[in-house]
Structures are given as C-alpha cells and as structure tokens.
Structure 1
Amino acid sequence: MNETMVCAVGNVATQPVYRELAAGPSARFRLAVTSRYWDREKNAWTDGHTNFFTVWANRQLATNAAASLGVGDPVVVQGRLKVRTDVREGQSRTSADIDAVAIGHDLARGTSAFRRAAVKGEAGAAGSPTQPEPAWETPVAASAAEPADPERRQDALVAMVT
C-alpha cells in the first residue's frame, strides 16, 4: 500500500458540505494553501502561489469537521493525496484531493476550544461527560518508595508501568 501522505497547512476556502450517505457521513471543503517567502528587495514576507485542495472527510471526522469548521479558519489537514485528471468538454482538468485522516485548527494562528463528541449510545450530550474523568496518575506502591537518584527513579517508574 504505497500512498502519498501529506500534511497541508492553510485556510478553509469554502463552507464544508455535509452529506449522509449509505456508507456513512461525508463532508468536503476546499482548502487554500499559500506559500510565503522572504522578499529581500521588499525586506518583508510575501505571499507566493496559492494551491487549492478538495478535502474529503468520512464518518465521525466528517460530522466533527462540518460542525467545527467555517470559511477562513486556519487548519492543518493530514491525509492521502489523490491527484485526478478529468476530461470535460474536450479539456483536461487536474485536481488534487486530500482524503483526510485528521483535521485540526492551526493553534499557531489562534485558539480553539475542544469539545469531545458524544459516542453512539452514550446518554450524555457532547461536552457533558456521563462518567467522571479517570485518574491518570498511577499511585506509588508502598514498596516502591521513590529513590533519590534520578536514574534509579526512572527505573522504578518503568518497573511500575510494566
């Protein structure tokens, strides 16, 4: 399975179009990716060429993208690059699509508030968990007192995890 995986950083150029299909939810939007370079003559950053990609999302990613993205949002998209050539009205057209695996807001250019999506069959609404947050920290066993030496401390932590 040789696939071309890409990571594109750009802006949402069109409002996401959401569809419920027999195979599950699907969403698509256009992504504008503009290169920037340092222009020594102007002594300033300058916009270069803009590439447009059609981003396709499926299943839960489609639902979340349609609910979260709007025109102009800065995003990072990771997925499989698909270059297609179509002949319409005697003219050959080439398009580049990205079958998205992950989509997220670009936090280098703004803030975002994450809300966990409700899982099928879950009673609570998105953002109101039905179970308490799990305790992520592992309590230290009484027999595994923390050694003062940092190297021995790391060995003790590894021994606790395994």
Structure 2
Amino acid sequence: MNETIICAVGNVATRPVYREPASGPSARFRLAVTARYLDRENNTWTDGHTNFFTVWANRQLATNAAASLNVGDPVVVQGRLKVRTDVREGQNWTSADLDAIAIGHDLARGTSAFRRAVRTDPAAAASQPEPNWETPPGDSGDPAQQEPEPAAVT
C-alpha cells in the first residue's frame, strides 16, 4: 500500500473525545504543531505557522489515549496522513487527519510515568502469569562472578 506515514510533534489542543461504538473504542483530539525557527536578526527563537491535525485513535490506543492525554501535553504522534477536501456552503474546506499508529508523551519536554493497561479479558490474564523479574538475593546475574557449584560426591 502507498500510505503517507508521518511523525508529528506538538501539543494536545483539545480534550480527547472517547466513544465506544459497536465497531470498538475510538478517540479523537486536535494536535497543534508549531514550527520554530531562529530569527537571525534578533538572535531569538520565534514561533512560525501552527498546523492543526485531527488525530484519530482506535481500539486499545483510543482507550489509553483518552485516559492519558490532557490539553497542553507535549506529544509525539505517528500515523497515516489523510488530507480531505470538501465543499461546504459553497466554500472549499480542507482537513488534515492522522490515523494514529502510536502516541506518546514527548520526553524531550518533560517526564512521564508509564503504567501498563489492565487487561479486560480475565481468562487471558490468568493463562499468562507475570514472570518473576527480581534477581534472587546474592545472585549478581553475572555467571563469571558466581561461585562454582560443588562437585557431586559419588
């Protein structure tokens, strides 16, 4: 398929609107992306033109985006660009939408605390127990630093 995949870095401009139709969860919000450039005459950074995108998220991404995003949050959105043109009330109308593949907070401008989403299917959660990731006491994890096991006496 020939799709235009882009990565947009900007701020959440509107509160995510969450819907749960029969086809599955969906969320949308507006993303403001403002270009910045160095004004060499004044030696200062200046805001350029702001582009607005409507970001659409589906399924689990929609649920997580609605629970995680607030107006003003700096985000990075990767998705399929869809430019639509229409005639409304005799005027040409153009919109740029992003069908989101991934959305995340922009860690270049702040910190974030990640929490895994709770599974909604209890049978799936029960069939895959959480592994024990902790290192046992006295085990450095490095085989070179571990004591050799005693030889078996026969």
TM-score bin, normalised by smaller chain: 0.7 to 0.9
Aligned to 1:45: 45
* 2: CA distance, partners of 1:3 / 1:96: 14
Shift of 1:8: 0.1
1:117-136 mapped onto 2 (5 Å cutoff): 117-122=117-122, 131-134=130-133
Query: Alpha-carbon deviation of 1:10?
Result: 0.1
Seen in structure 2, the aligned counterparts of structure 1 residues 133 and 46 have a Cα distance that, compared at 3 Å, is farther
Query: What is the aligned partner in structure 1 of residue 10 from structure 2?
Result: 10
Q: Secondary structure at the match of 1:60?
A: helix
Number of the residue aligned with 2:89: 89
**Inter-partner Cα distance in structure 2 for 1:121 and 1:15:** 28
- 1:34-72, CA deviations, whole angstroms, 9 ceiling, x for partnerless residues? 000000111110000000000000000000000000000
**In structure 1, how many angstroms separate the alpha carbons of the residues matched to 2:131 and 2:28?**
35
TM-score (norm 2): 0.81
* C-alpha spacing 1:63/1:95, structure 2 compared with 1 (3 Å): same
**Matched residues, number:** 135
Distance between the aligned counterparts of 2:122 and 2:6, measured in 1?
Answer: 34
Name the aligned partner's letter for residue 51 of structure 1: N
Matched residue, 2:101: 101
Radius of gyration: which is bigger? 2
Q: Percent identity?
A: 79
1:93 to partner: Cα distance: 0.3
In 2, Cα distance between the equivalents of 1:89 and 1:99?
27
Distance 1:72 1:117 in 2: 23
Q: Partner letter of residue 67 of structure 2?
A: A
Equivalent AA in structure 1 for residue 104 of structure 2: G
TM-score, normalised relative to structure 1: 0.77
In the alignment, the residues of structure 1 paired with residue 46 and residue 90 of structure 2 have an alpha-carbon distance, to the nearest angstrom, of: 37
Partner Cα distance (2:13, 2:142) in 1: 51
Shift of 1:122: 3.4
Q: Structure 2: give runs of 5+ residues left out of the alignment.
A: 124-128, 136-140, 145-154
- Matched AA of 1:92: N
Task: Describe the SS at the equivalent of 1:21.
Answer: coil
The one-letter amino acid paired with 1:103 is I
In 1, Cα distance between equivalents of 2:16 and 2:107? 20
